[in-house]
Structure 1
Amino acid sequence: MFNVTNSDVNVVFSYFGSSPTTGLTNEQVDQRLKESGYNEFNEDKTETILSRILDQLKNPLVLLLLGSAIISVFIGEYENAFSIIAERMRDTEDAKTPLQMKMDFLGRQLSLISFGIIALILVIGLIQKRPWLEMFTVAVSLAVAAIPEGLPINGKEECYCEKDAMLESLGCIDTLCLDKTGTITLNKMTATKIFLPSNKSVINAEDTKLDESTRRLLLIANLCNNAYFVKDEVLGNATESALLRLCLQVGLEDERINYDKVDEIPFSSETKFMAVKCAHKISKEEMYYVKGSFATIIQRCPHLDEDMKKEYYFQYQILCSQGLRVLAFGFGPSINFLEFSGFIASLDPPRPNAAKTINKLQKIGVRVVMITGDSKETAESIARSVGIQFSGLNCSVSGSELEAMPEHMLVNQAPHISVIYRATPKNKMEFIKALQSKGHVVGMSGDGVNDSPALKVADIGISMGESGTDVSREAAKIILVKDDLSCFLDGIEEGKSIYHNVRGFLRFQLSTSIAALMLISVSTLFGFPSPLNATQILWINIIMDGPPAQSLGVEPVDPQVFKEPPRNRDAAILTFALLKRIFLSSFIILLGSLFIFISELKDGKVTSRDTTMTFTTFVMFGMFNVISCRSETKSITKLGIFTNIPLLLSIVGSLLAQLVVIYVPFFQRIFLTEPIYIWDILKIVFLSSSLLLIEEFIKAIRRSRSNQNYVLISPI
């Protein structure tokens, strides 16, 4: 197949029998359409409306590439950058977060255990010749109540999540890959230094005089440029805008009005240069004007001897070591036969809070890696200026070095790399995959089209909301509303708080569910009548899975939690210590509820008073339990009553609802309850508060042990 992408424009027109003025005839277009079909990508299978809803309404992506061209469409090919990015995006599946995977696994385990116990209760009840309908309804009610529902995860207003659960994963990120431009820096370029071969020295841009050498250099910067003026503003790529502003600053008019652009080779991270072929409107002289990386331009200047190259490289290194982005310029009759014209260095300053935020990230155990298309010297200078830690030798590698590494070497080297310079989109993807293969949880920031495959493959892809392209925002799982590096820190803190609140939620839900299962199981095994009927069990489920449980998700977390290192993604959410607390709470609820039930069951027959007392006791235990689950270590006296208003309101609302169920005749008929006396309520409150008192005692012991350990390891 004829390679359109790498061929000269005139060769392409000749091959297809077309011209830049008339294009293809209608007959030729119809013929091409028959031969090649429409110029479109293969589409995935169409999703049904239901699957879209279940998959949270994922939108198709509209992919855009930066560049310009005079286009005559002949055939839709797949071997181009556009289709490669689309293919990588399509082939990359959205991964579940570590917490989602753990919760899914836990849900399956709980379901199997719960249904096994419920089936056993049902069989024992039938063997004891209990009414099968009663046993069946109780079993179904237990099945509904035994499995905890999900905890809503809400992010701070600085972060927007495609899926809210993704925010939690920020808490276990141990490596954060930051795209330099626009994330670490402001992406506001200013041309500050100029080097001219004739002067053999660097001069400040504001001191530039328009001699012949300077005019030639700035002419190339002007012609090889797609930024443009709109009133007093310059619109376009940040680097090109800086070059255009420099031309205006030194008094050079926009020379593009005096030239016709014959051809253009857009800049790419692979070629590392941009070239335009222009013809002067009066003299008709055609010439190539080229800008790009120092190495790329120098190797296209055959007239330079080795001493000159070394001298220019020395000046180039000096500028790069100051954190400046340096572009070299040349012109000539061919892109491979250029005359070196000098270079221009531009400054893209770091964000004001970049160093402070990166320092905080590294203090809490998050390794920061900077990825950029800049040179090694520029990249390392900026990385050091914002405090990125360098861990030994070979911690700064180029994209080409990364690509040349064997897979096993890349996997072993990746955890020690702090800076990747001259990086391509493919380099970013391979680096992230190498880290993931070593068990690291990787976050990736980006704002451009070419970042989208890496954003997709990262555990957490993060896009800038203000400067990010639509494609990067679609590929990312989290969008920062503000283009502010400190938002990363906010998100990580929020992720950690979510995880701790999920543990509190699970502790409350599981202790309640286990207590309900144990209460019915023990009653059935020992031949007691059922202490709760089916509607009461369902009511308990509504209360426990309702506002009290959900409000644990917004519990303010101890600031000490934010200083903890990233947790291991494989660490169990239900630790042995947490399970002990869960079973202790369940056992206390079981003993208290059985005590009330047996003490009320005097004649061996279950009355509505017996079940009402047991029912209310169980609910009251739940209210004290949810208060206890607010923190694993902090006392309720330290937490305060009004620090979680939603929880306070939900407890009050649940208690009022319980009173309605007990005292309103309509609900008495539904739940088979009857009014109880005030001293009955006081008795229940006194008994159920024992759970909170025991938990407070356990927390005090844990705090005491923690303080002793701190004293032991503290330096004298």
Structure 2
Amino acid sequence: MRDKGVYYDQEINSVFEKLGVSESGLSSQEAEERLKKYGENELEEKEKISILRLFISQFTSILIVILIIASIISVLLGELIDAAVILFTVFLAGILSFVQEYQAEKAIELLRSLTSPEATVIRDGVEKEIPSKKLVPGDIILLQTGDRIPADARVIKGFNLKTDESSLTGESVPVQKSTEVLPSETPESDRVNMVYTGTSVAYGRGSAIVTTTGMNTTFGELAGLLGTIERARTPLQESLDKFGRWIGAATLIIVAFVAMLGVFYGFPLLDMFLWGVALAVAAIPEALPAVVTVGLGLGVRRMVKRHALVRKLPSVETLGATNVICSDKTGTLTQNKMTVERICVNEQILKITGAGYSPEGEFFKGNVKVTGDELHLQTLLLGAVLCNDADFFKENEKWEIKGDPTEAALVVAAAKAGLRKVELDQKYSRLGEIPFSSERKRMTTFNKLEIESESFPVKGLIAFSKGAPEVILGSCTKIFLDGEIKALSPEINKLIAEKVREMADQALRVMALSFCPLDEDLFLEKTSSGEIPSEEIEKDMAFLGLMGMRDPPREEVKIAIQKCADAGIKTVMITGDHKITASAIAKELGILKENDLTLTGSELDNLGDAEFEEKVERISVYARVYPTHKLRVIDAFKKKGYVVAMTGDGVNDAPALKAADMGIAMGITGTDVSKEASSMILTDDNFASIVAAVEEGRNIFKNIRNFITYGLSAHSGEVFIVLISILGWQILPLLAVQILWINLITDGLPPMALSVEPPDNGIMRQKPRNVEEGLITRREITAGLGLGGLIALQALIVLTWAVDSGFPLEKLQTLIFTLVVFSEMFNAFNWRSDRYSIFSLGLFTNKPLVYAVLITIILQLMVIYVPFLQTAFRTVPLSLSEWGVVLALASTTLISMELVKYFSRKSSPGKNPGKTNSDHIYDF
């Protein structure tokens, strides 16, 4: 049980003492020792299946049990060789299935570890990012808007800190947190100086000391009451299971019919029983879900290398069908390396040299250098630094930032004038703040300034505000001009608006700043309850100036957007930037084309739903929008039948990320809440990685379909061969052990190798997959049954030739046995692509498949030529001429498909390569 009632009713110093930690946090050594004592900060899952149990489970299916019983009967009847071969193939099949399921489990575990959330802690006196599961009691965690709270903790500091505890209490109103000591009898729901696992920071920031972790937390106790956590099966696995059951039911009916027919024709009852069970095992694709899961897992790992982390396996299906990508601009379409290039202060435009986050640069008015100590410039830059949570530092000879890139750009600009954030924060302490939010589009801090200079415009408690120009200007009634605070006239207001427009025309993102003095006593009185009345404070402010910064577009994004256009995917930019700035960058990237529209948030608000839905396909840029507008965009596209991917990074983006078919969170700048709501996380915040993920998602889906079709052709071919042979010739063309062997080696390595087939060159020139089209369509069924029929036809040609030539039964069965195996090896190369010739893909571009086929062929040769295996599988050696017939017929499996692909391309040369049509097996 948790240790209740010993933290919320104690002074902070007492909590520190009781948990044995200082404000510098735990040492790394102490944290390791506590981790051993308390265990990892995770909720207990259902007990994992041991490797032994997983292995044994491979032999529990009804058909495998029947085979084992059949082998026992064979022993009792003296058929020791048959019994040994059956047990051997069953054992090998079990090992293969075990390996596949084990790999699938490992792939899922890897995915879970990659999506494990992180926490910001203070250890060894330094801020660090660590996996949340490594948190221990006594750790000091730092919290900010959007963070998922990783453990139960006592609040140490809070700046307007509010948490969303709806996951625990069901109440949607954020809870205001405080550091005050509470009475011992305070119920858990009212302990406002505590934060809890599974909740999130809705507003503000703060720090807290971890008190309990894992199953000892409030959320952990709830999880314990609800029972262990079950892992849900993916829709893809469910779909495959249904497909397998459908195939299985159909097969069992056919097998039972043929077995009874065999007995009617005089075949021994035991032989037909063994044969029927073997054919049923071969025909039912029991291992298909495991193979598919392995394919998904391998694909997800490839995505990780391309900076896209898929959180939920079913999302891979959605990626292949995505036809609209709505992307944020900053950091996703751009480099996220903001640099202040222009400053408008005291009715003057100043240029700043330097690029990136290096603090080296100078200020110029025209060609004249301006000193950094100029009063208006100093005041503007001081406000930019104090009203700021970001900073920059040098690591490994490279300048890096901590915090938001836009804020960091302001700090770097100030550093070029000699103003260092660390020094200023210590000198002018922050007494409070009103954090930035996407709705407010501004941030305000309250700093106490003790400045000796008589020329400085204000002293004492000062409110500094920064944000969107129209928001800041809307709260200003004054302006700091010519060394004085003057009334903001309509003429000056208009002039400032023109400067904003000029900067925006140059594709600069414009930030405005303002300030005003406050009565310290009155401020402390009004904020004593923890609430800061923004409406009262953020008014009658004095305008300071404008700072214009540029975030250059990523070069690789231009190529990625063109790839999207070729793939039939519309790219939409959504940004909080000025309309002119957004349009300029969108044109540069190739998003905004001729006749496309740009819409602002206010313009969107003025459109009715019907009118907006009519225009949505022509709108490529949304500027000055709020996160709530994203929901309207998603809804409009969905009503038109589009599959929408939406990016986001803030708390308020979470509803849009959930509503989108594919919610994509930013891995670097994204909040925990946005990541939790997403289906995929970009580890580099780069739009090009979205396109890479779509390509990989399409390829995974293509590979899954291809090896399903390969398997269907193999299984149906065996059933067709036996059915027609018994009906037409009253001959059993394959023995039970041969059928089991075919199933073992053709369903083993080749499908696994097909799952790692790389994307072909045309995959991003195809239109997105129709989302209403299931995994198994008429196209796959037609192709699989068609090739199964071809393999059966090959076998019947051999059977006719063997009967006419008077071959003994063992020679006939060896010929058909070998023909089926080699035909399936040729068939494996067919399904590297359902569209492109094997010769255009390159014979050796999928080396695992080449190795898989070679190993399978070697195994088949051993069965034919190794004496004790000849006895076990009832085979005889084949002559060169017989090999010639087998290989010639088997190769037609590949040749026929190559011809189908060739003539399909010739018959429709102008057809769009990407058009999806389930009625056509090959579509060019």
Whether these two folds match at TM > 0.5 is yes
In the other structure, the counterpart of 1:236 is 403
Aligned residues: 671
Code of the residue aligned with 1:56 in structure 2: it is I
Closer/same/farther in 2, CA of residues 55 and 427 from structure 1, 3 Å limit: farther
Aligned CA-pair RMSD: 4.4
Deviation of 1:184 (Å): 0.8
**1:65 maps onto 2:144 in alignment:** yes
Deviation of 1:367 (Å): 0.8
- Kindly indicate which of the two structures has a greater share of residues assigned to strand: 2
Whether the 8 Å CA contact 1:97–1:169 is kept in 2: the answer is no
Give CA-to-partner distance per residue, 1:569-589, whole Å, 9 cap, x none: 224566656655433322221
Picking from 289, 301, 321, the partner of 2:464 is 289
- Looking at structure 2, the residues matched to 215 and 321 of structure 1 have their Cα atoms a distance apart, in angstroms, of 26
Picking from 314, 338, 344, the partner of 1:195 is 344
- Looking at structure 2, the residues matched to 222 and 637 of structure 1 have their Cα atoms a distance apart, in angstroms, of 62
**1:56 maps onto 2:219 in alignment:** no
Code of the residue aligned with 1:297 in structure 2: it is I
Picking from 322, 325, 342, the partner of 2:545 is 342
Once the two structures are superposed, the pairs formed by residues 452-467 of structure 1 within 5 Å of their partners are: 454-455=656-657, 457-462=659-664
Unpaired runs of at least 5, structure 2: 1-7, 19-40, 50-103, 120-142, 147-156, 160-177, 181-190, 205-218, 224-230, 353-362, 365-369, 453-458, 479-487, 519-536, 913-924
Deviation of 1:606 (Å): 8.5
In the other structure, the counterpart of 2:730 is 528
Q: Secondary structure at the match of 2:342?
A: strand
In the other structure, the counterpart of 2:889 is 687
Picking from 376, 381, 392, the partner of 2:579 is 376
Code of the residue aligned with 1:181 in structure 2: it is T
Give CA-to-partner distance per residue, 1:107-148, whole Å, 9 cap, x none: 454344334433444555566676554444333333332244
In the other structure, the counterpart of 1:299 is 474
Code of the residue aligned with 2:410 in structure 1: it is L
- Looking at structure 2, the residues matched to 24 and 695 of structure 1 have their Cα atoms a distance apart, in angstroms, of 73
Q: Secondary structure at the match of 2:512?
A: strand
Q: Secondary structure at the match of 1:559?
A: coil
Code of the residue aligned with 1:382 in structure 2: it is I
Whether the 8 Å CA contact 1:23–1:72 is kept in 2: the answer is no
Once the two structures are superposed, the pairs formed by residues 540-559 of structure 1 within 5 Å of their partners are: 540-555=742-757, 558-559=760-761
Code of the residue aligned with 2:350 in structure 1: it is I
In the other structure, the counterpart of 1:223 is 386
Whether the 8 Å CA contact 1:227–1:237 is kept in 2: the answer is yes
Give CA-to-partner distance per residue, 1:280-311, whole Å, 9 cap, x none: 34787222111122222222224544444333
Picking from 395, 415, 434, the partner of 1:265 is 434
In the other structure, the counterpart of 1:186 is 335
**1:323 maps onto 2:507 in alignment:** yes
Picking from 416, 429, 448, the partner of 1:249 is 416
Unpaired runs of at least 5, structure 1: 1-15, 27-42, 711-716
Code of the residue aligned with 2:47 in structure 1: it is I
- Looking at structure 2, the residues matched to 108 and 169 of structure 1 have their Cα atoms a distance apart, in angstroms, of 24
Whether the 8 Å CA contact 2:203–2:435 is kept in 1: the answer is no
Bigger mean CA deviation after superposition, 342-351 or 375-384: 375-384
- Looking at structure 2, the residues matched to 310 and 96 of structure 1 have their Cα atoms a distance apart, in angstroms, of 61
Whether the 8 Å CA contact 2:511–2:546 is kept in 1: the answer is yes
Q: Secondary structure at the match of 1:531?
A: coil
Code of the residue aligned with 2:409 in structure 1: it is A
Code of the residue aligned with 1:373 in structure 2: it is G
Closer/same/farther in 2, CA of residues 700 and 326 from structure 1, 3 Å limit: closer
Q: Secondary structure at the match of 1:187?
A: coil
Give CA-to-partner distance per residue, 1:655-690, whole Å, 9 cap, x none: 110111222233334433343444333332233333
Closer/same/farther in 2, CA of residues 608 and 478 from structure 1, 3 Å limit: farther
In the other structure, the counterpart of 1:309 is 493
- Looking at structure 1, the residues matched to 668 and 441 of structure 2 have their Cα atoms a distance apart, in angstroms, of 27
Whether the 8 Å CA contact 2:750–2:849 is kept in 1: the answer is yes
Bigger mean CA deviation after superposition, 410-419 or 609-618: 410-419
Deviation of 1:392 (Å): 5.0
Identity %: 33
Bigger mean CA deviation after superposition, 614-623 or 136-145: 136-145
Deviation of 1:62 (Å): 5.6
In the other structure, the counterpart of 1:518 is 720
Closer/same/farther in 2, CA of residues 202 and 494 from structure 1, 3 Å limit: same
Once the two structures are superposed, the pairs formed by residues 25-424 of structure 1 within 5 Å of their partners are: 47-50=45-48, 56-57=108-109, 58=112, 61=117, 65-66=144-145, 69-70=158-159, 72=179, 74-75=191-192, 82=201, 106-122=243-259, 124=261, 131=268, 133-148=270-285, 149=288, 150-151=291-292, 152-153=295-296, 154=299, 155=302, 157-162=305-310, 166-167=315-316, 169-196=318-345, 198-199=346-347, 201-205=348-352, 206-207=363-364, 208-209=370-371, 210-228=373-391, 230=393, 235-252=402-419, 254-281=423-450, 285-303=460-478, 304-332=488-516, 333=518, 334-389=537-592, 395-398=598-601, 414-424=616-626
Deviation of 1:368 (Å): 0.8
- Looking at structure 2, the residues matched to 407 and 256 of structure 1 have their Cα atoms a distance apart, in angstroms, of 48
- Looking at structure 2, the residues matched to 558 and 258 of structure 1 have their Cα atoms a distance apart, in angstroms, of 60
Deviation of 1:185 (Å): 1.1
Closer/same/farther in 2, CA of residues 280 and 644 from structure 1, 3 Å limit: closer
Bigger mean CA deviation after superposition, 269-278 or 254-263: 254-263
Whether the 8 Å CA contact 2:445–2:465 is kept in 1: the answer is yes
Bigger mean CA deviation after superposition, 631-640 or 437-446: 631-640
Give CA-to-partner distance per residue, 1:460-514, whole Å, 9 cap, x none: 4445566666766666555556555444443333344444444443332222111
- Looking at structure 2, the residues matched to 175 and 514 of structure 1 have their Cα atoms a distance apart, in angstroms, of 39
Whether the 8 Å CA contact 1:531–1:611 is kept in 2: the answer is yes
Closer/same/farther in 2, CA of residues 366 and 136 from structure 1, 3 Å limit: same
Whether the 8 Å CA contact 2:598–2:623 is kept in 1: the answer is no
Give CA-to-partner distance per residue, 1:258-285, whole Å, 9 cap, x none: 3232211111112211111222347872
Code of the residue aligned with 1:82 in structure 2: it is V
Code of the residue aligned with 1:72 in structure 2: it is T
